[in-house]
Structure 1
Amino acid sequence: MPPVGTPSLRQRRLGAELRKLRERAGLTATAAAARLGVNQGRVSMIETGRSPVSAERVRSLALAYDCADADLVDALAAMAGSQTHGWWDTYRDYLPVGLIDLAELEYNASALRVALVVHIPALLQTTDHARALFRESVPALRPYEIEHRISHRIKRQEVLHRDDPPPYSAVIHECALHMGYGGPATVRAQLHHLLDMSELSHVTMRVIPFGKGSFPGTGQSIDYLVGPVPQLDTVQLDAHHGCEFLDAEAQLEKYRLVLDRMEENALKPAESRDLINRIAQSV
């Protein structure tokens, strides 16, 4: 297979996981190449995601690295193959690469968990709400840049409406429900949209009410993308400089616990719907 010009996050992650298996086996790239009968450069290209790798090659590597975790090997093999193109690729010339990678991760996730304090989750935003947010970007976005971001965000939302949608769990602080982005009409429409989305069988929405006090995750937006096995989960954090992705085992465990604690501090789904409805009626 020819080298990949710009590997996607999914390809880079596959390479990184294969590197972890090699290092756990105590092998250098040179020693691994000797076992496989290839040159060391090919192993390095695979591990950086620059060289496509077949499912058969992934299984050969796992065998050479004495990996006995069959579920992990199957999951890695499923990630293999030539460069996969999705709808997100049409935005590569217009948007930051982090947004492209996030869309690909969401599309391939087994489940999605999010928690936000001052914003509505991106996959639950209306077009007008998203437009009001993007108009506040620093530095300011040009009108055509705003429209590119809006169309990308709305396209991302299709993951919740496809025939096999992943389970989606959102924790939203009451603060986010009172933010006045776009004015009263936009706020009302956004709150009613949350109520509509909460009726979907695969969507679970919980609200942390004012007065709950301190809780872990305060002030931070968290996207937790569940992989086919826990080792392949990914955390995405919003930052002023762009998307930040985390996948170290300790980091994943930390954010699983943070999300669990935030859910424990939130109202039950039915109570959350009642609160959203009351706020919508008061706008």
Structure 2
Amino acid sequence: MARRKQPTARQERLGSELRKLRETAGLKGREAAALLGTDSAQLSQIEFGTAGVSEERVRRLVAHYACTDTELIEALVAMATDRTRGWWEEYRGHLPTSFLDLSELEHHASYRWDVDFLHVPGLLQTEVYARALFSYMNPFPEIEMERWVEHRMKRKVIIERPNPIPYETVIHEGALRIRVGDRAAARAQLARILELSEAGHITVRVIPFDLDRFAGAGSAMVYAGGPVAKLDTVVRDGPHGTIFVDAEAQLDRFRTLFRKVEAVSLEPERSRDFIHRLAKEL
């Protein structure tokens, strides 16, 4: 297969999972390459996601690595054989690669959790809110602005399609009170959150300012469930860009962190009442 110049986060993840299995099996790269009848350079390309790998080669590798986790194996095979060119591909070259990687991650996710402290989570944002947010953070020409906003609106497909994924979000009161746009935009945004919160697959919880002994979660967090727990992913925005976290120990920590934040937040019904009161104040 031709070498990829810029692999997607999903392609890199497949390679990293194969590398983890090899290292767990105690095999060096050249040993694993020999089992495939290739060289260390090609195996390295597979493990970095810069080269594709066939179903037959994935199955041969995991067999040599003595992996017996059937669900994980089938999930890796699905990643290797997936040729989906999703809707996000039309934005390649126009939007940051991390945006497209997130869209692909969401497309394949089995569920999604969000924690946000400063902004309404992207999947709940109205078009007016998203435009105001992007205008403030990244002032650029109108045509670029429209692409950013359009892309964000299209991402909602995962919770609006006929077979939506379960979605849970915890939003701090601060994010609900900050007026990214004007008063009318803020009111419409709260109304949109209330509307979505009525859906059976969507759970919205609020953390009020007056909560005792709450130290936060550090920063906003997106947690995307994979086909198996080992393929879950955490997405965090940092000062140097977007980071996709997949180390097992870190995933465990973020699962625990989400449940701690969820546990101290208001129940869904009380959260809706809380948002109703905020809307009436506007």
What TM-score, normalized by structure 1, do the two folds share?
0.95
Once residues 217 and 77 of structure 1 are traced to their aligned partners in structure 2, the CA distance between those partners, rounded to angstroms, is 38
Q: State whether residues 4 and 50 of structure 1, in contact with CA within 8 Å, keep that contact through their aligned partners in structure 2.
A: yes
Q: Which residue of 2 aligns with 1:84?
A: 84
**Secondary structure of 2:118's aligned partner:** coil
Q: Which residue of 1 aligns with 2:4?
A: 4
Q: State whether residues 8 and 101 of structure 2, in contact with CA within 8 Å, keep that contact through their aligned partners in structure 1.
A: yes
Q: State whether residues 110 and 225 of structure 1, in contact with CA within 8 Å, keep that contact through their aligned partners in structure 2.
A: yes
CA deviation map 1:81-132 (0-9, x unaligned): 2653211111111111111111110111010000001110000000000011
Is 1:29 aligned to residue 29 of structure 2?
yes
**Secondary structure of 1:193's aligned partner:** helix
Q: Which residue of 2 aligns with 1:262?
A: 261
In the TM superposition, structure 1's runs of 4+ consecutive aligned residues that sit over 3 Å from their partners are 216-219
CA deviation map 1:11-68 (0-9, x unaligned): 1100000011111111111101112222222211211112211222211110011112
Q: State whether residues 232 and 246 of structure 2, in contact with CA within 8 Å, keep that contact through their aligned partners in structure 1.
A: yes
Unaligned runs of 5+ in 2: none
Q: State whether residues 174 and 210 of structure 1, in contact with CA within 8 Å, keep that contact through their aligned partners in structure 2.
A: yes
Q: Which residue of 1 aligns with 2:227?
A: 228
**Secondary structure of 2:78's aligned partner:** helix
**Secondary structure of 2:155's aligned partner:** helix
Q: State whether residues 216 and 258 of structure 1, in contact with CA within 8 Å, keep that contact through their aligned partners in structure 2.
A: no
Q: Cα–Cα, structure 1 residues 121 and 26, in superposed 2: closer, same or farther, change >3 Å?
A: same
Once residues 277 and 49 of structure 1 are traced to their aligned partners in structure 2, the CA distance between those partners, rounded to angstroms, is 47
CA deviation map 1:139-190 (0-9, x unaligned): x333222211101100111111112211000000111111111111000100
Matches within 5 A, 1:146-165: 146-165=145-164
Once residues 74 and 122 of structure 1 are traced to their aligned partners in structure 2, the CA distance between those partners, rounded to angstroms, is 31
Q: State whether residues 52 and 82 of structure 1, in contact with CA within 8 Å, keep that contact through their aligned partners in structure 2.
A: no
Q: Which residue of 1 aligns with 2:64?
A: 64
Once residues 126 and 167 of structure 2 are traced to their aligned partners in structure 1, the CA distance between those partners, rounded to angstroms, is 17
Once residues 112 and 127 of structure 1 are traced to their aligned partners in structure 2, the CA distance between those partners, rounded to angstroms, is 21
Q: Cα–Cα, structure 1 residues 219 and 16, in superposed 2: closer, same or farther, change >3 Å?
A: closer
Once residues 273 and 179 of structure 2 are traced to their aligned partners in structure 1, the CA distance between those partners, rounded to angstroms, is 20
Once residues 91 and 215 of structure 1 are traced to their aligned partners in structure 2, the CA distance between those partners, rounded to angstroms, is 39
Q: Which residue of 2 aligns with 1:104?
A: 104
CA deviation map 1:214-250 (0-9, x unaligned): 4354451100011111111111112243211111111
Identity %: 46
Q: Which residue of 2 aligns with 1:173?
A: 172
Is 1:237 aligned to residue 239 of structure 2?
no
Q: Cα–Cα, structure 1 residues 239 and 141, in superposed 2: closer, same or farther, change >3 Å?
A: farther
Q: State whether residues 217 and 261 of structure 2, in contact with CA within 8 Å, keep that contact through their aligned partners in structure 1.
A: no
Q: Which residue of 1 aligns with 2:123?
A: 123
**Secondary structure of 2:206's aligned partner:** strand
**Secondary structure of 2:42's aligned partner:** helix
Q: State whether residues 116 and 219 of structure 1, in contact with CA within 8 Å, keep that contact through their aligned partners in structure 2.
A: no
Deviation of 1:9 after TM superposition, in Å, equals 0.8
Q: Cα–Cα, structure 1 residues 217 and 108, in superposed 2: closer, same or farther, change >3 Å?
A: farther
Q: Which residue of 2 aligns with 1:46?
A: 46
**Secondary structure of 2:140's aligned partner:** coil
Q: State whether residues 130 and 149 of structure 2, in contact with CA within 8 Å, keep that contact through their aligned partners in structure 1.
A: yes
The 10-residue stretch of structure 1 (259-268 or 4-13) with the greater mean CA deviation from structure 2: 4-13
Deviation of 1:281 after TM superposition, in Å, equals 1.3
Q: Cα–Cα, structure 1 residues 47 and 216, in superposed 2: closer, same or farther, change >3 Å?
A: farther
**Secondary structure of 1:100's aligned partner:** helix
Query: What number of residue pairs does the alignment pair up?
Result: 282
Once residues 240 and 83 of structure 2 are traced to their aligned partners in structure 1, the CA distance between those partners, rounded to angstroms, is 27
Q: State whether residues 36 and 57 of structure 2, in contact with CA within 8 Å, keep that contact through their aligned partners in structure 1.
A: no
Q: Which residue of 2 aligns with 1:192?
A: 191
